[in-house]
């Protein structure tokens, strides 16, 4: 039996699907095929405790309305970042321990993000499966998306962004119906597309990262406007049909948003009610809105791949030089290939907004509703990442068409390939000039940072020798491949080799080079920095001691330590793990167990303990809590995200601890003042 003839649709999807699955498992091999876990940052200190509490409630068939462990008691379900109603959380919560539930969810959503990118590029740009698959690689395995794995709800929400754009993108079959059933088909199309928009938008809302939903909403609006401009240029002869099509697409989005709000009302209503009592009610001040903006001096580090070097994850958006060159080649053709215009606008907008405080326009935006609710302008880089992935896929398609015409004499190439042929010298040279300018800017930044600091969260580090070698080798190989040159041994030459012209290099070589560079650069990303599962599962003495307290109401703890101390069993830890973990993994393990020693900031929730403190960067803590804590913070300071231990310089007065029902004080001896006696 011939599978291709009997099941043409299955055979068309099977190979790209299996290839994509294999690539994800290759890149995420440590997560997929070992028992190591993420034990750092917000994953360990924020999401693990919330997922532990939510999973415990789910297994008990209980809706977790209240959290009595953090901030002296706050709503739990109304905190959307928990993601209690997100359907894809339920099966991992039910079946797996918390660290492995997060691991499976990360890998699953990387796969989903790639499939969405694949479908979007196929529909919006009409790419062949090879180019569409490369688009999926550049977005879902690219620097920005995979750098966010420490924020699981952000990964979950971003995975649906390509699907959301796919649902609002006009396909070749849209509105191709006859007059007699035009009205009926309009309604059917509206309902179908509107339901698709509602489905993906609702999934984003349930995932719980509101900023991701806001960014996605802006992306959809920009995508529709840019596509509308494209459609006007393509459909000037039939303005009425264009207006009908555009009106239907806009109506489908409005219908989808309304339907999504109704679907997610079970989460939105309590969250909206809680927001009225939030410390962030009414929006954040502009200086907080623009915190964690992408510093222009870090642009080279952010956008270019590196080897063995890491950067603050919010600023990571690297792609291989191959992808950057392909994107410029595609962008160069936006007049002849208008379908790339929305992707170009998306990429440009994402990079423009990511500069935040360094962008004068953002000073105005930071005061507008929507923008004033969120920090970290660098998160707009997701639009850059997706736009560049689409452009790179389009550039690869152009190379693919050109290569077929050169090698097959046009016999197997589509007619559109002839229209997209270009003289590649100008865009190739432009792309290489831009990339070399980015490298030069990175070198200049090394000098400028002496006078213009870039911030403690992402100190500037010059590229190491391995990174410089990576740039040099990739740049040279890309130029030779695209220019149709290859080295050849020449005995008469002083260097014993020269460059000769060829009929072109198969685009598969470019794809292979891109994968190799991407794999190399991603080794320093968080999803490859894993440590032993004992970092989460082992009890530490303070936790064991506190679990014996069964007072009613529970007596609260307050931690004052900055975890600069060494664990008492440091020597034993070194002897056990020195041969099992590398230096980075051992460091993460020690930091994790020290956080468990002081039971902070959100770890009390994982053990059912009660704390005066907590940590949240969203709707919590409550404004009343923040105002109350001004009584104990130095000089009447106010914190809108908790973390009292980072602000307190001394033990609060006993009267305040009594008021908070605080019995346990956890600290260390690193700040003790030693005096001579006698």
Answer whether residue 158 is part of any domain: yes
Give 413 or 170, the one with higher predicted confidence: 170
* Res. 678: pLDDT tops 70: no
* Res. 495: pLDDT tops 60: no
119 vs 115: CA distance, rounded Å: 6
Answer whether residue 141 is part of any domain: yes
- Start-to-end Cα distance in the chain: 97
Look at residue 483 in the predicted model and tell me its pLDDT.
Answer: 72
623 vs 285: CA distance, rounded Å: 15
Answer whether residue 308 is part of any domain: yes
Q: pLDDT tens digits for 586-598? A: 999 999 999 999 9
What is the average pLDDT across 477-498? Answer: 63
Q: H or E element: which one contains 487? A: strand 485-489
* Res. 419: pLDDT tops 50: no
Which of 153-167, 177-191, 412-426, 603-617 is predicted least confidently? Answer: 412-426
Residue 178 banded pLDDT, cuts 50, 70, 90: very low
Residue 400 banded pLDDT, cuts 50, 70, 90: confident
Give 81 or 333, the one with higher predicted confidence: 81
Look at residue 333 in the predicted model and tell me its pLDDT.
Answer: 85
Query: Would you say 402 and 361 are in contact if contact means Cβ atoms under 8 Å apart?
Result: no
623: number of Cβ within 10 Å: 16
* Res. 449: pLDDT tops 70: yes
DSSP 534-570: HHHHS--HHHHHHHT---SSPPEEEE---S-SPPTTH
- Average pLDDT of the chain is 86
Q: At what angle do helices 182-207 and 87-95 cross, to 10 degrees?
A: 40
Look at residue 66 in the predicted model and tell me its pLDDT.
Answer: 95
Look at residue 525 in the predicted model and tell me its pLDDT.
Answer: 93
Which of 3-7, 282-286, 573-577 is predicted least confidently? Answer: 3-7
**Residue pointed to by tokens 């109603």:** 85
Which of 39-53, 236-250, 522-536, 543-557 is predicted least confidently? Answer: 236-250
432 vs 482: CA distance, rounded Å: 11
Give 484 or 165, the one with higher predicted confidence: 165
Reported residue count of the chain is 678
Structure tokens at 157: 């929400």
Look at residue 417 in the predicted model and tell me its pLDDT.
Answer: 43
Answer whether residue 538 is part of any domain: no
List Cα–Cα distances, 302 to 143, 362, 389, 458, 653, in angstroms. Answer: 9, 20, 16, 11, 46
What share of the chain in percent tops pLDDT 90?
Answer: 53
* Res. 649: pLDDT tops 50: yes
Q: pLDDT tens digits for 420-432? A: 444 456 787 888 8
Query: Would you say 255 and 197 are in contact if contact means Cβ atoms under 8 Å apart?
Result: yes
Query: Would you say 391 and 134 are in contact if contact means Cβ atoms under 8 Å apart?
Result: no
* Res. 183: pLDDT tops 70: no
* Res. 458: pLDDT tops 80: no
Look at residue 415 in the predicted model and tell me its pLDDT.
Answer: 45
Answer whether residue 295 is part of any domain: yes
Q: pLDDT tens digits for 52-89? A: 999 999 999 999 999 999 999 999 999 999 999 999 99
Burial label for 582, CB within 10 Å (0-12, 13-18, 19+), is exposed
* Res. 39: pLDDT tops 60: yes
* Res. 117: pLDDT tops 70: yes
Answer whether residue 26 is part of any domain: yes
Answer whether residue 45 is part of any domain: no
Q: pLDDT tens digits for 218-245? A: 999 999 988 877 666 554 555 666 677 7
* Res. 514: pLDDT tops 50: yes
DSSP 422-453: --THHHHHHHHHHHHHHHHHHHHHHHHTTTS-
Which of 203-207, 466-470, 547-551, 658-662 is predicted least confidently? Answer: 547-551
* Res. 156: pLDDT tops 80: yes
DSSP helix/strand/coil, 278: strand
User: Which residues touch 417 (CB under 8 Å, ≥6 apart)?
Assistant: 401, 402, 404, 405, 410
- Predicted model pTM: 0.91
What is the average pLDDT across 13-29? Answer: 93
What is the average pLDDT across 429-457? Answer: 85
- Report the Cα 605 to chain-centroid distance in Å: 26
> Containing domain of residue 106, as a range?
3-33+78-405+419-464+508-527
Name the domain count of the chain.
1
Give 562 or 351, the one with higher predicted confidence: 351
- Report the Cα 148 to chain-centroid distance in Å: 4
Burial label for 366, CB within 10 Å (0-12, 13-18, 19+), is buried
Q: Specify the pairing of strand 74-75 against strand 66-67.
A: antiparallel
Which of 235-249, 540-554, 560-574 is predicted least confidently? Answer: 235-249
Q: H or E element: which one contains 665? A: strand 662-666
Answer whether residue 650 is part of any domain: no
């Amino acid at each position: 039996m011939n599978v291709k003839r009997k099941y043409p649709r299955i055979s068309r999807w099977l190979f790209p699907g299996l290839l994509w699955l294999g690539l994800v498992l290759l890149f995420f091999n440590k997560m997929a095929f070992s028992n190591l876990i993420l034990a750092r940052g917000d994953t360990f200190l924020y999401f693990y405790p919330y997922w532990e509490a939510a999973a415990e409630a789910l297994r008990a068939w209980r809706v977790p309305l209240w959290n009595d462990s953090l901030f002296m008691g706050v709503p739990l379900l109304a905190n959307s970042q928990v993601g209690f109603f997100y359907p894809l959380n339920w099966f991992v919560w039910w079946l797996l321990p918390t660290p492995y539930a997060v691991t499976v969810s990360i890998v699953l959503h990387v796969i989903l993000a790639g499939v969405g990118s694949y479908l979007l590029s196929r529909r919006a740009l009409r790419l062949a499966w090879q180019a569409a698959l490369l688009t999926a690689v550049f977005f879902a395995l690219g620097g920005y998306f995979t750098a966010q794995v420490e924020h699981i709800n952000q990964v979950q929400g971003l995975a649906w962004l390509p699907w959301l754009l796919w649902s609002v993108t006009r396909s070749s079959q849209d509105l191709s119906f006859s007059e007699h059933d035009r009205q009926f088909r309009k309604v059917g199309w509206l309902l179908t597309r509107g339901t698709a928009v509602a489905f993906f938008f609702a999934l984003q809302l349930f995932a719980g990262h509101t900023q991701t939903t806001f960014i996605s909403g802006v992306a959809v609006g920009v995508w529709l406007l840019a596509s509308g401009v494209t459609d006007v240029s393509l459909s000037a002869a039939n303005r009425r049909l264009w207006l009908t099509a555009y009106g239907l697409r806009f109506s489908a989005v409005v219908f989808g948003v309304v339907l999504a709000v109704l679907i997610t009302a079970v989460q939105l209503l309590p969250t909206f009610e809680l927001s009225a009592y939030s410390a962030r009610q009414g929006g954040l001040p502009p200086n907080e809105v623009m915190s964690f903006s992408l510093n222009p001096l870090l642009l080279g580090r952010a956008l270019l791949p590196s080897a063995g070097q890491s950067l603050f994850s919010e600023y990571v958006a690297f792609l291989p030089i191959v992808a950057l060159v392909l994107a410029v080649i595609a962008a160069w053709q936006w007049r002849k290939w208008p379908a790339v215009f929305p992707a170009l606008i998306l990429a440009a907008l994402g990079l423009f907004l990511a500069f935040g405080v360094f962008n004068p326009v953002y000073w105005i935006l930071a005061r507008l509703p929507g923008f004033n609710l969120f920090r970290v302008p660098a998160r707009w880089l997701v639009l850059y990442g997706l736009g560049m992935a689409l452009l790179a896929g389009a550039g690869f398609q152009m190379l693919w068409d050109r290569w077929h015409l050169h090698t097959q004499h046009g016999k197997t190439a589509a007619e559109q390939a002839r229209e997209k042929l270009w003289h590649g010298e100008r865009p190739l040279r432009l792309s290489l000039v831009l990339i070399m300018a980015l490298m030069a800017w990175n070198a200049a930044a090394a000098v400028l940072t002496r006078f213009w600091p870039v911030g403690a969260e992402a100190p500037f580090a010059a590229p190491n020798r391995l990174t410089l070698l990576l740039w040099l080798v990739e740049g040279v190989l890309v130029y030779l491949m695209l220019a149709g040159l290859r080295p050849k041994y020449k005995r008469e030459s002083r260097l014993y080799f020269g460059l000769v012209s060829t009929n072109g290099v198969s685009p598969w070589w470019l794809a292979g080079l891109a994968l190799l560079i991407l794999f190399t650069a991603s080794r320093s990303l968080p999803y490859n920095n894993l440590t032993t599962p004992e970092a989460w599962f082992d009890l530490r003495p303070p936790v064991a001691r506190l679990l014996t307290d069964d007072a009613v109401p529970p007596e609260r703890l307050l931690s004052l330590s900055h975890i600069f101390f060494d664990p008492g069993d440091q020597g034993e830890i070194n002897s056990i793990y020195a041969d099992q973990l590398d230096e980075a993994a051992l460091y993460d393990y020690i930091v994790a167990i020290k956080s468990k020693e002081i039971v902070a900031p959100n770890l009390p929730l994982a053990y059912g303990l009660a704390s005066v403190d907590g940590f949240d960067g969203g709707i919590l803590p409550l404004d009343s809590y923040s105002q109350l804590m001004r009584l104990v913070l130095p000089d009447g300071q106010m914190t809108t995200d908790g973390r009292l231990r980072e602000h307190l310089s001394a033990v609060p007065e006993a009267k305040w601890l009594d008021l908070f029902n605080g019995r346990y004080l956890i600290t260390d001896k690193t700040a003790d003042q030693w005096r001579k006696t006698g």
